[in-house]
Amino acid sequence: MPALQWHKSSFSSGDAANCVELAADSVGTPHLRESDDPEAVISTTPAALRAFLRAAKVGAFDRLEG
């Protein structure tokens, strides 16, 4: 499998090692990782990623209890 081309969030600043990065493989599967742990990659479906991003934009995760 060819190496993925990772893209940092536009909210990341400089070369900080605390950035969310996103890449898509040749069939369009989205992959996410945190730049301070690049070996830990989460793969998902385009539909699930869209749903997550929509929820995050409206604040669904702003007050997580845990």
The pLDDT, as a whole number, for residue 24 is 96
What's the pLDDT at 10?
75
Q: What's the pLDDT score for residue 54? A: 96
Contact call for residues 60 and 51 (beta carbons, < 8 A) = no
Write down the pTM of the prediction.
Answer: 0.77
pLDDT in the model for residue 16: 65
For the sheet with 7-8, list strands across it. 7-8, 20-24, 30-34, 37-43
The per-residue pLDDT for range 2-61, each reduced to its tens digit, is: 789 999 877 776 666 668 899 999 999 999 998 888 899 999 999 999 999 999 999 999
From CA 21, how far away is CA 39, in angstroms rounded?
A: 12
* pLDDT at residue 15, as a whole number: 66
